[in-house]
Amino acid sequence: MNIALIVLLPLLGSILPALMIRSGRNACMASAAVVNFLALALLLTHSPAVFFFKTTPKISWPWLDSIGLNIEFWVDGLGLMFATMILGIGLLILIYARSYLSAADPMGNFYCYLLIFQAAMVGIVLSDNVILLMMFWELTSLSSFLLIGFWSHLPAGRQGARMALAVTGGGGLALLAGVLLLANVADTYRISEILTRRDLIQNSEWFPTILVLILLGCFTKSAQFPFHFWLPRAMAAPTPVSAYLHSATMVKAGIFLLARLWPVLHNDGMWFYCVASIGLVTMLIGAIIALFQDDLKGLLAYSTISHLGLITMLLGFATPVAVAAAVFHIINHATFKAALFMNAGIVDHEAGTRDLKRLGGLMWLMPVTAIIALIATFSMAGLPPFNGYLSKEMMLEEASHTKWMGSKQIIPTLVTIAAVFSVAYSFRYFFGVFAGRVRHDYPHHPHDSPAGLWWPPTLLIILVIAIGLRPDIMAESLVKIVTASVIQDAAPDIHLKLWHGWTPAVTMSGIAVGGGLILWLLASWLRTIWDKLPRPDAKVIFDAVVHGLTRGCQLISDSLHNGSQQRYLFLIIASVIAFAGWNFASYPWAHGDRPLQPITTPLVVGWILVVGSTLLVVINYRNRLYALIALGVVGLFSSLGFVYVSGIDLALTQISVEVVTIILMLLTLFFLPKYSQPESMSWVRWRDAGLAIVAGLGMGGMSWLMMTRPWSMESIQSYFLANAKSGGGGTNVVNVILVDFRGFDTFGEITVLGCAGLAIFAILEGLARGKLRQRLQDWEPDVARTADRHPILMVVVTRVMLPMAILVGMFIFFRGHNLPGGGFIAALVVSVALIMQYMASGFGWTANQVRFKYHGLIGGGVLIAAATGIGAMVADRPFLTSWHDHWHPPKFWEIDFGDIEVASAMAFDLGVFLTVIGAVMLALAQYSKLGIIAVDAEVNASPMDCDPLNNQPPVNRNHKH
Amino acid sequence: MELLLSSAIGVFSAAGVYLVLRPRTFSVVMGLSFLTYAINFFLVSAGRLSVNMPDILSKGKELSEYADPVPPALVLTSIVISFGMTAIMVVMGVRGYFENDSDHVNISLTEEMIARSRE
């Protein structure tokens, strides 16, 4: 249980700092830190299990089991180490950021994003399900976008964030494809099970594809060559973000995944050549570029790229000892690099610049900061007795006996060159900033920072020294356990100590320090050469690619979508017809042998009326009222047609929907012109007519061919017919399907309808305000209006009809489960009766009579329907399973009520009923409100214009000023 | 009867396509209504036609004596959703009419060019 909580705490807790910022910045920081600390404490409660009992705590909750996505977490050595790093360094970063961020920065947002990011990272390292892992993976891309672009007022921040998102997000897509293939081949989505199926995966024909896709994801995330370019741009982020994302977390996610999948992916062939080579190249290039950076964070960024390359290369070597070295270096790099980023932040914060050319001599002004930097840079350079030295020695040792394409020299040589550069840039960092004379032209006057900035890196520095001096106590057992969990086997017998005797690694180290010293002294001379070398600028290339893609898409969409709806509808319909016709052409055109239903006289009459009315609409569509009446005829006869083919519910629904639709369109015609002029050129009309005829022939022909054939496979109808009564408790099978078997569809459907009602309200409400309201008021009706706005006859008749209509509605509602009817039809009947009140007595009076809001009706309806469904879950059945029973009420005054059927579907139908009334009434009532604004009429308070009891003459209120 | 229904579906589709391609909002909405009729009848016809066999269970009837209840259930959903869609379309037509002082469906090219040059 509480494994999931380690992830959920920061995720849900991310809201806290956003709220606590109102109580001040310290409270904000404290809330985030508490959340972080609790997650860390929870995590550490699992460490005894992993360390001493060698077990892996797991949890598994079913979620979407059918697609393999379940909530599955585990804590093994690798996950424990990464999660501790993420949460531990995260805590330090939270504290550091409190002092770092200025008063103008929205701190609540910052901590909120940071905790989301933290949750995503912890989620990656603890997931035991590949799809779950991918979700967290994407979440890190998104939340790191927010963090990198935190200073969104800076163009560099926005561009850097966008580039990082594009690169890591693109890699994420490849990775998704890769892990899905992997899971498919391994036949499980559970990581712990995938790890045991190496043979299955490596022997699969998909293995090369899987490997390439997964490596793409890992390399983009971990900034490996040639995807390294986003990392330096991401340095536009606030320094706490860089320290967190680019030392311990985000960029390590790729490394983590390489390590996680190492047991199944590693081999001496493709894996070695892809991973080790890319890692080596990245290590070398990163180290070389880092030497020539003037920006402290730029230098650290390229150094990070180089170190990530180093770790990748070690994993690529595919030997257990190399894995142990990689694991050890992950720990060491996180400690000294996070400390260095924080250090760069302190320098920037106090001296006002991070430019090496403007710095120097700070040792005398900021001694504490200088000591931190000294230890961290020497560890980064790989000098004893710090922890960086130990893992670097292990790396050199492994590299010294690894062959590449049969050559013994190539890897040791290149690795040594990279080490030389790494010593040189480390020296440049420390001596460039802190050594030399005190200058007088710093942008700020530097002095040691407040404690909040220097003690988090100091804690890390203590680790750097402690691990460096006593690795056997501090790190050895951890490295062994983590290595064992990476390789899924017994850990190699390694001993971490400072002096192993005179090994090749010591020689290489010596060359590195000597060479690095010389290189550092020559740095300014080399710089002049470096500046003259042509180098590709990743940003230019990236921008050109992005711009080209945007241009290309714009060209396509502009040529298709030029703003003419007629044009793109034509294109869409024409292409649908073309594609359908392509399939149609290969189909046997002869009609089938199914016995046909007889043609009767009423059918022919109906057909003539329907087709005739359709033609009338097509010919006279410019006379809109006329066309609307003809459309109504088509609708009415359609419902008769439904009755004829045994769809009684359909017919009832169709006729009630038809009435409401026609009312709605009539209301529309109140505003829109009643006539329109012919405007299309005749060739356009003929072209459209041609397309229409082809479409009609296609649709008609297709249904003819279909109807004359029997089903090609068994229909599923018998299931519904057989189970409607026993399973759903109703005899109206169509209704039972709607409220029970496919209740979830109906639930979605009423939600959509409710949304449509709200959308209509919003669209029309926009007309009732601002400049559009003015236009509405200026609008002149194009035909004369009747003087009698609220005819007395209609008022009286509708008033009498209302209770009857509601009674009919109730009747239809209650019989719905067993006989034709149901909530939807009942709602439309009641709506029509209600809307008649608006039509007869006007908006003002009617709106005063309505004691509830239609919005609430929509919400209430959806909630009731949902509650019915959840009720089933409470009873341990799937969502929306219906319950039904017979209830025999007690006799009342000797009257026997008989058996009454009670079904929970009834409550669901009530939800449908309320939602539909709400949506329909909201739309129509809003329309009548607009009408009042448009004709500038007074809002009537009485139901009739003239009160027959008062004998006053009717007032003509239709007059416009 | 199959011939009558399929020809009616054809006529509805043709009328729908023609009206949808007209330049004013109101005719487009009417065209959509015709397309809805066509599609609903098409869905119903997928259950094959059966006359006088309503899906109300009663004792003593074989399962084969009922019409297929699945297409009507689907069409009911279709009717409701297309009602919601039609309502939104007409309302957008009205809003557009007052926003642009015209109920034409196309964006005039000049206005669009102005908007793009402003970006």
A699 phi-psi bin (left φ>0, alpha ψ -120 to 50, beta other)? alpha
Residue in B with minimal Cα distance to A677:
B24
Q: pLDDT tens-digit profile of A477-486?
A: 888 889 998 8
In Å, what is the CA distance from A903 to each residue of A159, A537, A748, A864, A900? Answer: 59, 70, 21, 14, 10
Q: Which of B4, B10, B45 sits opposite A603 (nearest CB)?
A: B4
b/e map A842-870, b = 16+ CB within 10 Å: bbbbbeeeeeeebeebbbbbbebbbebbe
Q: Do B94 and A764 touch (CB under 8 A)?
A: yes
pLDDT of residue A917: 93
Please count the residue pairs, one from chain A and one from chain B, whose beta carbons lie less than 8 angstroms apart.
319
- Flag whether the ipTM exceeds 0.95: no
Locate the domains of chain A by residue range: 293-556, 601-678, 731-961
Q: Do B15 and A617 touch (CB under 8 A)?
A: yes
pLDDT of residue A955: 53
The token duo for A736 is 């039972």
pLDDT of residue A80: 92
> DSSP letter at B24?
B
- Min Cα distance B80 → chain A (Å) is 8
Q: Which of A645, A702, A759 sits opposite B51 (nearest CB)?
A: A645
Q: Do A721 and B63 touch (CB under 8 A)?
A: yes
Q: Which residues contact B110 (CB under 8 A, 6 or more apart)?
A: none
Q: A716 pLDDT exceeds 80?
A: yes
Q: B19 pLDDT exceeds 50?
A: yes
Band the pLDDT of A537: cuts 50, 70, 90: confident
pLDDT of residue B112: 53
A19 touches chain B (CB under 8 A): no
pLDDT of residue A959: 44
Q: Do B53 and A676 touch (CB under 8 A)?
A: no
Is residue A168 within 8 A of residue A155, CB to CB? The reply is no
Supply the mean pLDDT for chain A: 87
| Selected residues 777-816 of chain A with any CB under 8 Å from a CB in chain B | 779
Q: pLDDT tens-digit profile of A741-793?
A: 888 889 999 999 999 999 999 999 888 887 888 888 887 777 777 667 778 88
> DSSP letter at A640?
H
Q: Which of B9, B40, B55 sits opposite A700 (nearest CB)?
A: B9
Residue A927 CA to residue A717 CA, distance in Å, equals 42
- Min Cα distance B2 → chain A (Å) is 7
Q: Which of A607, A628, A775 sits opposite B4 (nearest CB)?
A: A607
Q: Which of B4, B30, B52 sits opposite A627 (nearest CB)?
A: B30
B38 touches chain A (CB under 8 A): yes
Q: Which of A624, A654, A696 sits opposite B26 (nearest CB)?
A: A624
Residue in A with minimal Cα distance to B54:
A646
B35 touches chain A (CB under 8 A): no
Q: Do A634 and B37 touch (CB under 8 A)?
A: yes
* DSSP conformation letters of A81-121: HHHHHHHHHHHHHHHHHHHHS-TTS-HHHHHHHHHHHHHHH
The mean pLDDT of A190-197, rounded to a whole number, is: 90
A675 touches chain B (CB under 8 A): no
* DSSP conformation letters of A791-805: -HHHHHHHHHHHHHH
Residue A637, φ and ψ in degrees, nearest 5:
-70, -25
Residue A663, φ and ψ in degrees, nearest 5:
-60, -45
Residue A884 CA to residue A900 CA, distance in Å, equals 11
More confident residue, A204 or A844: A204
A255 closest CA partner among A377, A88, A78: A78
Q: Which of A565, A648, A766 sits opposite B105 (nearest CB)?
A: A565
Locate the domains of chain B by residue range: 2-51+67-118
Q: Do A688 and B21 touch (CB under 8 A)?
A: yes
A682 touches chain B (CB under 8 A): no
Q: Do B69 and A734 touch (CB under 8 A)?
A: yes
Band the pLDDT of A948: cuts 50, 70, 90: low
What percent of chain A has a predicted confidence (pLDDT) above 90?
Answer: 38
* DSSP conformation letters of A514-550: HHHHHHHHTHHHHHHHHHHS----HHHHHHHHHHHHH
pLDDT of residue A20: 86
A508 closest CA partner among A440, A422, A600: A422
B13 touches chain A (CB under 8 A): yes
| Selected residues 68-97 of chain B with any CB under 8 Å from a CB in chain A | 68-70, 72-73, 75-77, 79-81, 83-88, 90-95, 97
Residue A49 host element (H or E)? helix A47-51
Q: pLDDT tens-digit profile of A132-165?
A: 999 999 999 999 999 988 888 888 888 888 889 9
The token duo for A615 is 């033609």
Residue of B52, B83, B110 for testing the chain A interface, max A β-carbons within 10 Å: B83
pLDDT of residue A960: 43
The mean pLDDT of A615-632, rounded to a whole number, is: 93
Architecture in CATH for domain B2-51+67-118? Orthogonal Bundle (1.10)
Q: pLDDT tens-digit profile of B84-102?
A: 999 999 999 988 888 887 8
The token duo for A603 is 């059918």
pLDDT of residue A946: 66
Residues of B in contact with A664 (CB under 8 A): 86-87, 90
Q: Do B34 and A634 touch (CB under 8 A)?
A: yes
Residue in A with minimal Cα distance to B109:
A563
A924 touches chain B (CB under 8 A): no
- The answer, as to whether pTM is greater than 0.80, is no
Range in A44-48, A427-431, A523-527 with the lowest mean pLDDT: A523-527
SS3 content of chain B, % helix, strand, coil (to 5): 70, 5, 25
Q: A248 pLDDT exceeds 80?
A: no
Q: Which of A598, A646, A923 sits opposite B87 (nearest CB)?
A: A923
- Give the CA count within 13 Å in the CB-facing half-sphere of A56: 22
| Selected residues 607-646 of chain A with any CB under 8 Å from a CB in chain B | 607, 610-611, 614-615, 617-618, 621-622, 624, 627-628, 631, 634-635, 638, 641-642, 644-646
Q: Which of B6, B12, B52 sits opposite A614 (nearest CB)?
A: B12
pLDDT of residue A22: 86
Residue in A with minimal Cα distance to B92:
A763
SS3 category, A885: strand
SS3 category, A667: helix
Residues of A in contact with B90 (CB under 8 A): 664-665, 668
A599 touches chain B (CB under 8 A): yes
Strand A69-74 to strand A58-64: parallel, antiparallel, or no bridges (unpaired)?
antiparallel
Band the pLDDT of A573: cuts 50, 70, 90: very high
B107 touches chain A (CB under 8 A): yes
Residue A722, φ and ψ in degrees, nearest 5:
-75, -30
Q: Which of A696, A772, A930 sits opposite B11 (nearest CB)?
A: A696
Residue A765 host element (H or E)? helix A743-767
Describe the crossing of helices A277-291 and A410-434 by its angle, rounded to 10 degrees. 30
pLDDT of residue A475: 85
* DSSP conformation letters of A165-223: HHHHHHHHHHHHHHHHHHHHHHT--BHHHHTT-HHHHHTSTTHHHHHHHHHHHHHHHTT
Q: Do A650 and B44 touch (CB under 8 A)?
A: yes
Q: Which residues contact A657 (CB under 8 A, 6 or more apart)?
A: A828, B79, B80, B83
Q: A961 pLDDT exceeds 50?
A: no
Q: Do B10 and A699 touch (CB under 8 A)?
A: yes
Range in A91-105, A395-409, A889-903 with the lowest mean pLDDT: A889-903
The mean pLDDT of A655-668, rounded to a whole number, is: 90
Residue A314 CA to residue A276 CA, distance in Å, equals 7
pLDDT of residue A54: 81
pLDDT of residue A958: 46
Q: B1 pLDDT exceeds 80?
A: yes
- Min Cα distance A775 → chain B (Å) is 7
Q: Do B40 and A638 touch (CB under 8 A)?
A: yes
Q: Do B90 and A631 touch (CB under 8 A)?
A: no
Q: Do A759 and B88 touch (CB under 8 A)?
A: yes
Cis peptide leading into residue A781 (ω within 30°): no
| Selected residues 654-673 of chain A with any CB under 8 Å from a CB in chain B | 654, 657, 660-661, 664-665, 668-669, 671-673
Q: Do A664 and B87 touch (CB under 8 A)?
A: yes
End-to-end CA distance of chain B: 58
Q: Which residues contact A540 (CB under 8 A, 6 or more apart)?
A: none
SS3 category, B104: strand
pLDDT of residue A937: 67
Q: pLDDT tens-digit profile of A857-905?
A: 999 999 998 888 888 888 777 777 777 776 676 777 777 666 666 777 8
B62 touches chain A (CB under 8 A): no
